[in-house]
């Protein structure tokens, strides 16, 4: 079996690659080759030196011939521009998220047309496909039957890709699975350009002894998932068989990954509980209307029933999320 991860050296891509390399199988079938494709390849990565791994370095749109040099059985498409980047530069978002995704889907389609396997394509979408509008307010809890109404370019681009995947799947070109990710926190490493990046920063930076800024009203509620739960959910969605039975993927609908609903104030209170006043006081609340407009448009409460039918559950509380982050940092050191 040949498995591909795009955005493989990013935050989730590295964790997904590590998870696959631990078992060296997908759905019980041995992985003969794991292709790690990314625009930026981080030197010294243990995964990159594994004999089963092939690294494809460069802009994905320019390297699809290498990605599909041999038939692809499973493809995890995690690459793309993030929310604040897309809001600041529409053309960048369209190229990175829409044009590149369509080119990738067409490569999978061509593989099928040439007699190759029908690739199982897992796409990382986002809760940003949802949004509230005065003419159509959001229900108290969001489910997959809620009409997506994005309020950002990033959300719109993700929704466009969702529809393309649904149509290519309907036509039999590929087997598409769409995972709508919650905001993933706590993200280690350096801050990125995602509008939601502060939700990791207000925990990660103080724990490292650095100041952090909270750009939203602490009363804002958000939907979060830990890195560990997110990777587990992506793999479960990828491996699920089609069907209407228990634990099967029933139909073409995207799956909203499980969400832990929490306010920013509760996150900061947990930081204070874990690390004390001196650490928690490193966070300063300085509202940023641009960030509040994007993150505040996202829903916070989700009906997790569809994910639950696949055996997926949200993080039990934010304390467990912070402890996961601390344990990971200890292991890394």
Which positions are annotated as active-site residues? 154
The two structure tokens encoding residue 45:
């990565």
Q: What is the DSSP string of 62-83?
A: G-HHHHTSS--SEEEE-----H
- How far is the C-alpha of 195 from the C-alpha of 215, rounded, in Å? 10
Q: For the beta carbon of residue 209, count every other beta carbon within 10 angstroms.
A: 9
Q: Which residues are bridge partners to 125 per DSSP?
A: 180
- Return all residues near 32 (Cβ < 8 A) that are at least 6 apart: 1, 2, 52
User: Residue 288: which residues within 8 A CB-CB, separation 6 or more?
Assistant: 215, 216
C-alpha 149/C-alpha 298 separation (Å) is 10
Torsions phi, psi for 32 (to 5 deg) = -85, -35
DSSP 138-170: PPSSB-TTSPP---SHHHHHHHHHHHHHHHHHH
């Amino acid at each position: 079996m040949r498995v591909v991860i795009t955005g493989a050296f990013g935050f989730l891509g590295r964790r997904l690659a590590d998870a696959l390399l631990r078992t060296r199988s997908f759905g019980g079938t041995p992985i003969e080759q794991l292709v790690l494709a990314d625009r930026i390849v981080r030197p010294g990565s243990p995964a990159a030196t594994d004999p089963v791994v092939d690294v494809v370095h460069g802009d994905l749109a320019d390297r699809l011939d290498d990605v599909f040099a041999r038939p692809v059985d499973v493809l995890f498409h995690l690459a793309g521009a993030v929310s604040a980047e897309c809001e600041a530069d529409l053309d960048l978002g369209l190229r990175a998220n829409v044009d590149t995704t369509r080119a990738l889907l067409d490569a999978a389609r061509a593989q099928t047309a040439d007699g190759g396997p029908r690739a199982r394509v897992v796409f990382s979408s986002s809760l940003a496909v949802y949004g509230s509008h005065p003419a159509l307010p959001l229900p108290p809890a969001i489910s997959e039957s809620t009409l997506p109404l994005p309020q950002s370019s990033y959300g719109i681009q993700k929704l466009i890709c969702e529809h393309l995947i649904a149509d290519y799947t309907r036509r039999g070109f590929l087997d598409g699975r769409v995972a709508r990710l919650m905001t993933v926190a706590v993200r280690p490493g350096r801050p990125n350009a995602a509008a939601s990046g502060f939700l990791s920063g207000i925990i990660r930076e103080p724990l490292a002894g650095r100041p952090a800024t909270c750009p939203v009203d602490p009363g804002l509620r958000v939907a979060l998932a830990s890195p560990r739960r997110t990777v587990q959910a992506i793999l479960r969605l990828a491996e699920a068989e089609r069907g209407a039975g228990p634990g099967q993927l029933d139909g073409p609908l995207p799956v909203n990954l499980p969400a832990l609903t929490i306010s920013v104030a509760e996150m900061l209170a947990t930081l204070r509980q874990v690390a004390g006043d001196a650490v928690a006081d490193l966070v300063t609340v300085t509202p940023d209307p641009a960030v509040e407009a994007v993150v505040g448009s996202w829903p916070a409460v989700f009906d997790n029933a569809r994910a639950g039918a696949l055996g997926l559950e949200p993080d039990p509380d934010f304390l467990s999320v912070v402890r996961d982050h601390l344990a990971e940092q200890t292991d890394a050191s």
